[in-house]
Structure formats: structure tokens, C-alpha cells
Amino acid sequence: MASSGKMTLFVDRSVSGQFLRAVAAQCQMTDLKIREDHKYSQPVLISYDPALQKELSSRVFDSEEALSLNYPRAIARYMARISNNAILLGSGPLEEALVDDLIAVALGKITGDVIKRLDQMTAKTTYLGSPSGMRLGDLAVFAAVHHKVESKKGSIDALPSNLLRWFNFMQHHHTLSGKVDSLPLIPVVVPPSPLFGVLDAA
């Protein structure tokens, strides 16, 4: 179980806020204080962590006791590292680039073209960011799709079949299911895998 030290995360229920809640759950940051606050235009992480102070004080803050990170990607990366979950960033340059790309896509506008691209990706792999396990990119995309459906900008039934299966897998993942109150389970009728009909016919 990871210790996050003296840190407070201020978030709202935007995609970036939900993404960071999911990261905190994945990293088991039970000591992290998460407060829902709408006075900030984007998530803010306030930390008294000595390591963060040493790293950033000379470059960002001159004499502040508490240091802050203000960008979702930076906050997520920091939480992964401090909780000894650096693997969430990617296991090499290619994976790291893919993770960053997925985060950028997820925190942007989820258009029909984006949904189509994600459906194509989920047809080929269990996880989006790596063939070997969960990455930050998966958490970001999950938060974005969940937000789109729950905010009624889209319907769960309107998701393409591959993306729908992936979404249902993610929401029932043991590191997320029941761990993030603001990401409740959404009832899903999961379509059969494309391989089911092929194997059945054989």
C-alpha cells in the first residue's frame, strides 16, 4: 500500500479529475486527500513532500513550503512514481510515447473519429497502453469514455462493440471497481466477441 505523504488533490468531476481519481485508486494512494473543489480551473496537487520540494523549488517556487502541480499529465506521472508504480508510465520509449498520446486524446474532445480509433485499438488488445498490463493511458481513456456516457453526451449502447467490451472490462477491474465513488458501474450488455462466432462455426 503506497504512502503519498502530505498531499492534497483538488479536482472536479471533469475528465481530468476523474482520470486522476482513477490513478490514485490504481496506485493505492490511501493517504492522499482528494477534495472536490470547483474553484480551480484544472486539477491541482498540493504537496509537502521533501523530494518534490528538492526537485522543483529551484526551478518553479522560490520559498514556498507547499509546492503544487497544475497539469493532469504531470500529476498522474508524479503519483505513479511516488507510489512505486512507474510501470504505469510505460516500459520503454515507445510505450511511454503511446501512453502520452492516449492521455492527450482522452483529455481532448472525444469525437466520433476518436471513438472509431479507440474501437479499432480495443479490437486487437486488452490494454491500450501496453500488451503487458495497465498504463496511465488506459485510465485516461476509461475516464473519458465514462464521463461521455454518464454526462449523457453519449449512450453506453452507442459505443462500438470492441470499445464497449473494453470499457466493461475496465470498470470491473479489481483496482477500479468500487474504489472510485465518482466512477460508478454503468450497466452494460456486453456483445459476444468476434471470435465467438468463428469458433462456434468451426
Angle at CA 117, nearest 5°, toward 79 and 170? 45
pLDDT in the model for residue 142: 98
**Predicted confidence (pLDDT) at residue 77 exceeds the cutoff of 60:** yes
Domain containing residue 120: CATH number: 1.20.1050.130
1 within a domain of the structure (yes/no): no
Beta strand pairing status for 7-11 and 44-47? antiparallel
Give the Cα separation of 45 and 41 in Å (integer). Answer: 13
112 within a domain of the structure (yes/no): yes
pTM of the model: 0.85
H or E element that contains 139: helix 136-150
Average pLDDT score over residue span 99-104: 97
Phi and psi, residue 126, nearest 5° = -75, -45
Phi and psi, residue 190, nearest 5° = -80, 125
44 within a domain of the structure (yes/no): yes
**Predicted confidence (pLDDT) at residue 201 exceeds the cutoff of 50:** no
pLDDT in the model for residue 39: 76
Give the Cα separation of 202 and 200 in Å (integer). Answer: 5
Residue, of 92 and 38, whose pLDDT is higher = 92
Angle at CA 30, nearest 5°, toward 26 and 164? 25
136 within a domain of the structure (yes/no): yes
**How many domains would you assign to the chain?**
1
25 within a domain of the structure (yes/no): yes
Please report, rounded to a whole number, the percentage of residues in the chain having pLDDT higher than 70: 83
31 within a domain of the structure (yes/no): yes
Average pLDDT score over residue span 67-87: 93
**Predicted confidence (pLDDT) at residue 180 exceeds the cutoff of 50:** yes
Q: Which domain holds residue 32?
A: 7-198
Q: Give residue 196's pLDDT band: very low, low, confident or very high (50, 70, 90).
A: very low
177 within a domain of the structure (yes/no): yes
Residue, of 157 and 52, whose pLDDT is higher = 157
Average pLDDT score over residue span 157-170: 93
2 within a domain of the structure (yes/no): no
